[in-house]
Amino acid sequence: ELEDLPAPKPYREIYVSAPHVEGVHLRFGPVARGGLRWSDRRDDFRTEVLGLVKAQQVKNAVIVPVGSKGGFFPKNLPRGGDRDAIQAEAIRAYKTFLSGLLDITDNIDADNRIVPPAGVIIHDGEDPYLVVAADKGTATFSDIANGVAEDYGFWLGDAFASGGSVGYDHKVMGITARGAWEAVKRHFRELGKDIQTEPFTVVGVGDMSGDVFGNGMLLSKQTRLLAAFDHRHIFLDPDPDPATSWAERDRMFKLPRSSWDDYDKSLISKGGGVFPRTLKQIPLSPEVRAMLDLKAETVAPSELLTAILKARAELLYFGGIGGYVKAKTESHADAGDKANDAIRVNGADLRVKVVGEGANLGVTQAGRIEFAQMGAGGAGGHINTDAIDNSAGVDSSDHEVNIKILTGILERGGVLTREARNQLLPTMTDDVASHVLADNYDQTLALSLMESDAVSEVESHAQFMAALEAKGRLDRKVEGLPEAAALADRAKAGPQGGRGGLTRPELAVLLAYGKIDLFDDIVASQAPDDPWFEATLKGYFPPALGQYGDAMQQHRLRREIIATVLDNQMINICGPTFPSRLRSAAGCDTTALVVAFAAAREILGIDALWDQVSALDGKASAGGQLALYKALAYALRSLTFWLARRAFKDKSTVKQLVEAYGPSVKALSALGTSILSPFEQKAAAKRAKAYVADGAPEALAQAVAVLQPVTTAADLVDLGNASSWSVENVARLYHQVGSAFGFDRLRSAAGSFVGGDAFERLAVRRLIEDMLSEQTAITQAVLKFAANAQAGEDETSAKAAVTSWAALRTEAVRAAKRTVEDIEQAGGGWTFAKLTIANAALRGLASAS
């Protein structure tokens, strides 16, 4: 352990040195992936790689491997040499660098045995997983890397470097830009705008020959690109026609090695043009001056670029290399990109509403936070992080690697020839893209759900960060997260403008670390071995590979793939603090947590309902959708809690839980609100009405509105099994008990309780659990008293049974009810103290004689 190494510290580091190349490769776990960069920073390429791998580690939370990154510096590039000579020397350096990595990496033979490299003294355990990816300067080097791997007989073959001639070409797929566009669309949707059908204004960094910028600027025919720049030219178009400009950008994208200078100048609106960045001064038309709020008639290129970044457009889209936005509190050196010091701006100075980070490191983390808090003219801007927005590229590559590992098993088994595999891979391109874009959609939705609760969850987030720090998993300073005192100050400042909690860029980091932490826990648990998750593994791969279930079971990353899918599903829906909070509340382990979560999803039919809500994009209000999502998540969390305790106690499998509780929940759901107490019926009707008002179809609104009461079904099923009553009759009795003794009203009051610190809110949750337990206990007592299982077959008989039971305990019941009524009549709303007194009055009624 080298204490003086700058954070973050890698799991493994390989340094390669040769007369013509130096390089370094940093990995943060045994299963890791990331790009190899051709660095031009002779003296501090490790610093460059370390900065990149930090973002890679967070980005990789959505895929199976953790983050890694490499960089090499060619020492002998020919001075004054032509492009081909420079490229040839860089390739020689690249191949030597790769050889250095493979020289000390374990291999796997045809019999699936680990083979250590010859002539190496081994100090670590088995470590055969090494994959690389393209990066700056190495975008076309994948086939070269795979050639080196095959020369070594490395077990991954052409899965060693994704995106080669037999693989998924990111630019052809447009996958990175399409993923970033999911983020951009969500930002605008939550601002009430559909950018696929309504014109919107954009300024950007990049050119149409580039993958991320070029593809990105073709993803909506409503795009009005006002200005853009790369390292060569500045493009200005003050009043573009969406259709005409889209067609011209499309032509340029298809033109090999195009630049902004290839843009048909006759199609540019009045006052616009294309200008080389080499000019000392650039003349500005009245239209450009008005667009950029500049008074001077000529400006230096750097001043013009700064004005573009500060433009009053709706979207700032990063699709090119460079760091252009920092925070006021940072120096230009903090941005780590000296070449752009002259044009860089502060996050608070951005006037766009939305920033889309298709490229890496365009904005510092502090710059993002500043923009989220003070950008967009002080209103606060909409931004995620580069790790969120452009994760689709790494996600696509990871699918390719795992598909090739699977097809490698089939090749070795004689099931598939290499030629057949090469024909199969391109047929699955759309399926891979669909999986990847779903990840982008779900992950940005997860951020929106977290952001909507950011103020109320401040202390939970603080506790979660503290727990990660205590485990050595998180360094707040490295990740730009606030210290406890700063976060407390934000909480005191309140929710003005939604700024009382963590910002969206900070929440993105927390989301990633929640996934990283849970992933390790799931892999270490028995959960991936539950037979239920064989379908999860199969669902990860394209349908064309579905017939190869046996080979999937032999996949070296089988457990990791399952863990990644489950990890993302749980954190995306329930949030990063959910796993630790539930394990603590339910007193269960990770296996029981995962098993219960999967069972609850199946029992409640969450996936189908969730998809119905997602289908309302552009039809319902964004706020209405969030309310539906949150209701589904709340129900899922509740049932997971009940089932986790049972799964932990009985070591249940997912199938056992689904079979034990699924039919009863389905039966209760079919009855709708008819079995609920009058109070709960009114509450459910009110919820459904609100959902419909926000654009939800009536059937979906009703289904979501009654979901929460159904989550008590686990207790009701257990009561029914113990008494031979049907679950429907038990449920009627249960809800009549809730009505007779005011449990339903009290729980509603407790559930809407706002204020207090995290411990007070925890106490309220425990209070609600206590009330549920007491209601269940009284129901059980009435069941025994009634004896006749027909007592709950309708509302009248259920009410009569409860009344008869209570009549034998008149004094105790009267005293409890009087206490609750006195509190309600006193007015002033419910407080924690009042709820505690009411709960104490009701406690023990079940055993009263």
Write out pLDDT tens, residues 481-495: 999 888 888 877 654
Using CA atoms, how far apart are residues 560 and 377, in angstroms rounded to an integer?
45
Domain harbouring 255, CATH code: 3.40.50
User: What burial class does residue 630 get, using C-beta atoms within 10 Å of its C-beta: 0-12 exposed, 13-18 middle, 19+ buried?
Assistant: middle
* 816 domain-assigned: yes
Each residue's pLDDT tens digit, 775-792: 999 999 999 888 776 677
**Model confidence, pTM:** 0.93
Q: Report yes or no: 267 and 227 within 8 Å, Cβ to Cβ.
A: no
Question: What was the pLDDT predicted at 663?
Answer: 94
Same domain, 209 and 346: yes
Each residue's pLDDT tens digit, 348-385: 999 999 999 999 889 999 999 999 999 999 999 999 99
Question: What was the pLDDT predicted at 516?
Answer: 94
* 697 domain-assigned: no
Closest CA to 313 of 212, 223, 200: 200
Q: Is the pLDDT of residue 829 over 90?
A: no
Q: Report yes or no: 159 and 401 within 8 Å, Cβ to Cβ.
A: yes
* 664 domain-assigned: no
Structural domain count of the chain: 3
Out of 265-279, 593-607, 803-817, pick the least confident: 803-817
Same domain, 77 and 129: yes
Each residue's pLDDT tens digit, 111-157: 889 999 999 999 999 999 999 998 889 989 999 999 999 999 999 99
Please list, residue by residue across 355-364, b when 16 or more beta carbons sit within 10 angstroms of its beta carbon and e when fewer do: bbbbbbbbbb
As annotated, the active-site residues are 69
Residue that finishes a domain, picked among 331, 349, 381: 381
Question: What was the pLDDT predicted at 52?
Answer: 83
Same domain, 307 and 363: yes
295: number of Cβ within 10 Å: 7
Residue that finishes a domain, picked among 165, 184, 204: 165
Residue that finishes a domain, picked among 119, 150, 165: 165
Using CA atoms, how far apart are residues 211 and 803, in angstroms rounded to an integer?
72
Question: What was the pLDDT predicted at 359?
Answer: 94
Same domain, 840 and 746: yes
Using CA atoms, how far apart are residues 829 and 832, in angstroms rounded to an integer?
10
**pLDDT band at 56, cuts 50/70/90?**
confident
* 201 domain-assigned: yes
Across the range 230-248, mean pLDDT stands at 98
Same domain, 353 and 213: yes
Question: What was the pLDDT predicted at 499?
Answer: 59
Out of 101-105, 302-306, 356-360, 477-481, pick the least confident: 477-481
Residues 6+ apart with CB under 8 A from 485: none
Same domain, 725 and 818: yes
* 609 domain-assigned: no
CA 628 vs. chain centroid, Å, equals 18
Same domain, 47 and 151: yes
Average pLDDT in the chain: 93
Same domain, 105 and 144: yes
Q: Is the pLDDT of residue 189 over 90?
A: yes
CA 64 vs. chain centroid, Å, equals 14
Same domain, 199 and 347: yes
* 396 domain-assigned: no
Tell me the torsion sign for CA atoms 211, 181, 536, 565.
positive
Q: Is the pLDDT of residue 391 over 70?
A: yes
Question: What was the pLDDT predicted at 849?
Answer: 59
Q: Report yes or no: 308 and 227 within 8 Å, Cβ to Cβ.
A: yes
Question: What was the pLDDT predicted at 464?
Answer: 96
Same domain, 370 and 242: yes
Q: Is the pLDDT of residue 498 over 50?
A: no
Same domain, 207 and 155: no
Question: What was the pLDDT predicted at 685?
Answer: 96
Each residue's pLDDT tens digit, 438-497: 999 999 999 999 999 999 899 899 999 999 999 988 999 989 999 988 888 887 765 444
Question: What was the pLDDT predicted at 497?
Answer: 42
Question: What was the pLDDT predicted at 80?
Answer: 82
Which range marks the domain in which residue 225 is found? Answer: 192-381
Each residue's pLDDT tens digit, 714-754: 899 999 888 888 899 999 999 999 999 999 988 888 887 76
Tokens of residue 440, six digits: 């982008």
Domain harbouring 64, CATH code: 3.40.50.10860
In percent, how much of the chain has pLDDT > 90?
79
* 155 domain-assigned: yes
**pLDDT band at 420, cuts 50/70/90?**
very high
Q: Is the pLDDT of residue 523 over 90?
A: yes
Across the range 694-713, mean pLDDT stands at 94
Of the two residues 558 and 458, the one the predictor is more confident about is 558
Q: Report yes or no: 223 and 327 within 8 Å, Cβ to Cβ.
A: no
DSSP-assigned letter for residue 496: G
Closest CA to 194 of 504, 612, 619: 619
* 768 domain-assigned: yes
Q: Is the pLDDT of residue 687 over 60?
A: yes
Question: What was the pLDDT predicted at 754?
Answer: 63
Closest CA to 660 of 605, 588, 713, 728: 713
